[in-house]
Amino acid sequence: MTMSSEHLQILANKLRYTGKSKPRALITGINGQDGSYLAEWLLHKGYEVHGIVRRASTNNLERIRHILDKITLHEGEITDSIFVSYVIYTVSPLEIYNLAAQSHVHTSFSVPDYTFRVNTLGLLNILEAVRQMDYLPNARIYQASTSEMFGNAPAPQGIETPFDVQSPYAISKLASHELIKHYRNTYDMYTVSGILFNHESPRRGENFVTRKITKYFGKSINDRLKLGRLKLGNIQSERDWGFAPDYVQIMWKSLQDNESKDFVLGTEISISVKDFLGVVGKYMWSDWTTYVDIDDGEFVRPSDVHKLQAKSSYTVKTDVYDLVKIMLDYETDTCDGDGYDYYMENYGDIFAWRT
C-alpha cells in the first residue's frame, strides 16, 4: 500500500512530536493582537508556528504580514469540530494557545449566541480533539481567560477571588475556564487558564477604548476638528491596563512549568477611563474635555463592571503610563513599526528578544 504525501506528512508530524526537532505550537486567533505578538515570541524561541485564522473576504492578516513567510496558516472555524480535529491531527502540536474569541464585551450583548459558540464551543472542540488522540498525551493547552469574569467582585481581584460575571462575554469565558479545570482534573491533561487583565498595544482593535482614544488624540488638532468630537461611554469605569507583549511571554511561561495551574496577570494599577484621558491629554498637551462627548446610549453596556485591578501571579514590566506613551508615539509617527524601536531606545531591554 502506497501512502499519499498527506499521510506521509502526518506521520512525519507524529514522529517529530517526540521532541527530536524544534517544538511545534498552534495558535488560534494568530492574526489578533495577542496572537501576532505570541507568534513573534515563539519564533524567537525556535518554535515551528502554526495558526488558525477565520476565512474572510477582506484582508485580516495585517498584524502578521511581516511573518507570513515564517508561519503556517490554516483557514477555518474553531466552532467546526471536524476542522479543529483535522488541524490538530495533522499539525500534532506540543503546545496549543487558544486566543480566538469574540472579545468585545459590548458586542456580546448583541450576539450572545455567537459569542458563546466561539468562546466556549471552540475550546471544547480543542480539548476533545486532544483528549481523543492517543499520541498527544503531553500536549499542553493555554486558554485565554479574562478579568471580566470577576465582574463587580471587590478589587483587587486575584486567583482566589469569586467570580461575578456581568456580560455574555464573561459568561462564555467563565464556562471555558471551568472546562479547563474539568479536563485537567478529570483527564489529567495539561491545561492552563490565564486570567488576564486588560492589555493593549498599537495592534489593539480600533473599537477598544484605549486604541480609540490614542488614535484620535494622536492626530493633529486640525484633523481632530475635521473628525468631530470623540464619543465615549462610561468614563468612570476603572481598569488595570498593561502592554500586550509583556503578557504573551507569560502565556508561554505558563506552559513551561512542571505542573499546570491557572494564574492572574495584571499591572496591579487601576485607573479610570477619565484618568486615562487625562494621561493622554497631558502627553499631547491637550485639554481632553474640549474634544470628548459622553454618549449614555450607544457605548454604555446594559450591565457594567466598575473596577478591575489585578492581584497578579506574575510581575509585568510596563505600566499604564508607559503604555500611553507607546501607543501615542505610534500614532504620531514618533517611532517606526508598532512603537518598539522607540521604546527600546528609551525604556530598556523589554524588547531584547525582537532581534
Q: Is 291 annotated as catalytic?
A: no
b (16+ CB within 10 A) / e for 183-208: bbeeeebbbbbbbbbbbbbbbbeeeb
Here the cell at position 15 is: 514522529
**For residue 185, how far is the Cα from the chain centroid?**
25
Q: Integer distance in angstroms from the first to the last C-alpha of the chain?
A: 47
DSSP letter for each residue of 75-129: ES-TT-HHHHHHHHHHH--SEEEE------HHHHTT-HHHHHIIIIIHHHHHHHH
Residue 37 falls in the annotated catalytic set: no
CA 166 to chain centre: 20
Say whether 6 is catalytic: no
Peptide bond into 156 cis (omega under 30): yes
Among the options 97, 169, 190, 216, which is catalytic? 169
Q: Which of 148, 200, 238, 331 is catalytic?
A: 148
CA distance 157 to 117: 27
User: From the candidates 28, 115, 120, 146, which is the catalytic residue?
Assistant: 146
Q: How many CB atoms lie within 10 A of CB 130?
A: 23
- Kindly list the catalytic residues: 146, 148, 169
